[in-house]
């Protein structure tokens, strides 16, 4: 097998393997810290995409001087908004 064919084949095999392992969990329930950080945190339930709502989501469960997981909570708010303003497990797990 030549070098170029291996370089094309390897990412495909890796992608199928990753999807085979990760794919079944996409429809699974929220688990562990998902409940307090996502489902139970109403500040990530953003219905209007503006700076104030995104800031509130980023600083939720932390404080204004130290957002312990600000980027993660900001991404949760964006996931909620773009998933049709609902806690869609598939959308949250896909990203």
Over residues 14-24, the pLDDT tens digits come to 999 999 999 99
Q: Each residue of 31-40: pLDDT tens digit?
A: 998 888 899 9
Whole domain around residue 38: which residue ranges?
Answer: 3-94
Which residues, listed in sequence order, are joined to residue 63 by a DSSP beta bridge?
A: 66
**What is the rounded CA–CA span in Å between residue 60 and residue 74?**
9
- Residue 61: how many CB atoms within 10 A of its CB? 16
Structure tokens at 26: 């996409």
Structure tokens at 13: 């095999």
Of the candidates 28, 57, 29, 44, the one whose C-alpha atom is nearest the C-alpha of residue 85 is 44
Q: Could you give the 3-state DSSP secondary structure of residue 63?
A: strand
Q: Each residue of 43-92: pLDDT tens digit?
A: 999 999 999 999 999 988 766 555 688 899 999 999 999 999 999 999 99
| Domain tally, the chain | 1
pTM of the entire structure?
0.76
């Amino acid at each position: 097998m030549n070098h170029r064919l291996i370089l094309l084949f390897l990412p495909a095999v890796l992608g199928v393997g990753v999807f085979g392992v990760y794919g079944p969990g996409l429809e699974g329930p929220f688990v562990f810290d998902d409940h307090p950080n996502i489902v139970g945190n109403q500040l990530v339930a953003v219905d209007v995409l503006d700076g104030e709502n995104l800031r509130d989501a980023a600083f939720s469960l932390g404080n204004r001087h130290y957002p312990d997981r600000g980027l993660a909570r900001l991404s949760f708010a964006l996931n909620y908004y773009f998933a049709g303003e609902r806690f869609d497990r598939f959308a949250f797990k896909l990203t």
